[in-house]
A = this chain, B = another copy of it.
Amino acid sequence: MAEPLNIALAGLGTVGTGVIRLIETNAELIARRAGRPIRISTVSARDRSKDRGVNLSQYAWEDDLTQMAARDDVEVVVELVGGSDGPALTLARNSIAHGKALVTANKAMIAHHGLELAEAAERAGSALKFEAAVAGGIPVIKGLSEGAAANAFERVYGILNGTCNYILSTMEDSGADFADVLADAQRLGYAEADPTFDIEGIDAAHKLAILAAIAFGARLDFDAVEVTGISRIIASDIAQARALGYVIRLIGMAEIETAAGESSLFQRVQPHLVPTGHPLAHVDGPTNAIVAEGNFMGRLLFQGAGAGDGPTASAVVADIIDIARGEKGAAFSMPVGELETVPQAETGHRLGRAYIRFTVPDRPGVLAEITAAMRDAGVSIESLIQRGRAEEGGDVILAMVTHEGPESAVNDALRQLDGSQSLSAAPLVMYIIGE
């Protein structure tokens, strides 16, 4: 058997220790598959003395993680520190500059600096791999950039954040409201102490921007992702959606639009209504799932554990095995120079069916004002549900589903209603995914 592949591990949180456990547990199998053993030579983290449940004594320790890149006994640097900038980025740049391969699970860093790092890796003849950055243990980056590489993609969308999916499917099962389920999720470790990145959709947007670049051969453009999180969803929304035959899921969606010969890239993270017959409607708990539609393969679904130490370690080590096999690949499925600059799509002309939820005072005339605004904007209402009485202030919930029409019409109607005495709170709009 060939010489071991020496790796350095920066960051020993749950994923880092998961990688150590995986490499130790499956060592023999990995060597058979990779053609050579994978050997951890050096580790680094903030606190050397902390008990992490793994024995670190056999590995060299580096106090300054950014120095790992310079070590002669390291061929692959595994960055599991996190953060889009700071030490993680410094380590990544140093590693590539020293000709090391870089494996990372850092979606924020790749979403913000992925193109720069990929170009540097190309110049250095090195590898940049980040399977673990998107959808945990699901090999969707490999699936799109290699397995489905023969296809022009029409659309890529899916459930990219396990915390949000856990919260939404738990709200569904329990009937509880967002804040209560979030608090439970935090207690159970499914949500972080500061859950903003997850519940406001930023984390899903990082992942979506990475997938979109790979699928559409477009330069990664995180700032062009429209993002709405799940924090405004209430128990009534879930109930109304169910009554209409839908579940609510936070969906990241990317699509190439072509009009008058010009292409533009649509990227959006937003809660959607998903019909119960759709494969994504059955994705519950912290699971992730991605649908890719290609012009020859049709619809492909990848589903699995979107987070957690084991699944994430599985993706990290898969990248290392690729490198051990000499399969470096291009970080974004093609060289950075081949990626096209695709402008952000305008969304007003997009056709969709919208779910709109209003919180309104329970008095005559409210419904007339809202429906008049819809009529004036050219929004055609398919169904309307008025249910129950909110606990405070005598407000009621009014939910409607529109016929298919341009998003701009819905926006116009809501603009017309903005500031009206007929609305007790800002309306919530969610679009509906087709079968």
Interface residues of A in 268-311 (CB under 8 A from B): 279, 282, 289, 294-305, 308, 310-311
> Which of the candidate stretches A134-142, A366-374, A383-391 sits at the interface with the other chain?
A134-142
Of A30, A320, A327, chain B has the most CB atoms within 10 Å of the CB of: A327
- 30 A–B pairs (Cβ distance < 8 Å), ordered by A: A22-B150, A22-B296, A25-B296, A29-B217, A30-B149, A30-B150, A32-B334, A33-B145, A33-B149, A33-B217, A137-B298, A138-B300, A142-B147, A146-B322, A148-B314, A150-B315, A151-B314, A279-B303, A296-B313, A296-B314, A296-B317, A297-B304, A298-B305, A298-B308, A298-B311, A299-B305, A300-B303, A300-B305, A301-B302, A303-B303
- Distance of A297 Cα from B317 Cα, bound (Å): 11
- Distance of A327 Cα from B328 Cα, bound (Å): 9
Query: In angstroms, how far is the closest chain B Cβ from the Cβ of A68?
Result: 21
Chain B residues lying within 8 Å of A137, measured Cβ to Cβ, are: 148, 294, 296-298, 300
Taking a contact as CB atoms under 8 Å apart, the answer to whether A321 and B35 are in contact is no
Interface residues of A in 1-37 (CB under 8 A from B): 18, 22, 25-26, 29-30, 32-35
Chain B residues lying within 8 Å of A297, measured Cβ to Cβ, are: 137, 304-305, 310-311, 314-315
- Distance of A137 Cα from B289 Cα, bound (Å): 17
Taking a contact as CB atoms under 8 Å apart, the answer to whether A29 and B152 are in contact is yes
- Give A294's nearest chain B residue, CB to CB: B314
Given contacts A26-B296, A325-B329, contact A148 B152 (CB under 8 A): no
Taking a contact as CB atoms under 8 Å apart, the answer to whether A301 and B299 are in contact is no
Of A138, A147, A299, A315, chain B has the most CB atoms within 10 Å of the CB of: A147
- Distance of A353 Cα from B403 Cα, bound (Å): 47
Given contacts A148-B139, A318-B148, contact A300 B310 (CB under 8 A): no
Taking a contact as CB atoms under 8 Å apart, the answer to whether B311 and A296 are in contact is yes
The 10 A-B pairs with the shortest beta carbon distances in the complex, nearest first, are: A139-B147, A150-B317, A137-B297, A297-B314, A301-B303, A300-B304, A296-B310, A296-B314, A298-B305, A32-B338
A255 CB-CB contact with B under 8 Å: no
Contacts A33-B145, A33-B333, A302-B303 known; list 6 others, CB within 8 Å.
Answer: A25-B295, A29-B217, A33-B334, A143-B147, A295-B310, A300-B305
- How many residues of A are counted as interface, with CB atoms below 8 angstroms from the partner's CB atoms? 60
Given contacts A18-B296, A298-B311, contact A26 B303 (CB under 8 A): no
- Distance of A18 Cα from B151 Cα, bound (Å): 12
Query: In angstroms, how far is the closest chain B Cβ from the Cβ of A172?
Result: 14
- Distance of A317 Cα from B297 Cα, bound (Å): 11
Q: Which residues of A contact B (CB under 8 A)?
A: 18, 22, 25-26, 29-30, 32-35, 131, 137-139, 142-143, 145-152, 217, 279, 282, 289, 294-305, 308, 310-311, 313-318, 320-322, 325, 327, 329-330, 333-335, 338
Chain B residues lying within 8 Å of A35, measured Cβ to Cβ, are: 330, 334-335
Chain B residues lying within 8 Å of A147, measured Cβ to Cβ, are: 131, 139, 142-143, 318
Query: In angstroms, how far is the closest chain B Cβ from the Cβ of A39?
Result: 15
- Distance of A320 Cα from B146 Cα, bound (Å): 10
- Distance of A300 Cα from B318 Cα, bound (Å): 14
Of A311, A314, A322, chain B has the most CB atoms within 10 Å of the CB of: A314
Taking a contact as CB atoms under 8 Å apart, the answer to whether B314 and A150 are in contact is yes
- Distance of A65 Cα from B16 Cα, bound (Å): 53
- Distance of A243 Cα from B292 Cα, bound (Å): 34
Taking a contact as CB atoms under 8 Å apart, the answer to whether B301 and A26 are in contact is no
Of A295, A297, A310, A325, chain B has the most CB atoms within 10 Å of the CB of: A297
- Distance of A22 Cα from B294 Cα, bound (Å): 11
Of A217, A303, A316, chain B has the most CB atoms within 10 Å of the CB of: A303
- Distance of A333 Cα from B35 Cα, bound (Å): 10
- Distance of A313 Cα from B149 Cα, bound (Å): 11
Taking a contact as CB atoms under 8 Å apart, the answer to whether B150 and A146 are in contact is no
- Give A316's nearest chain B residue, CB to CB: B150
Of A30, A139, A149, A150, chain B has the most CB atoms within 10 Å of the CB of: A150
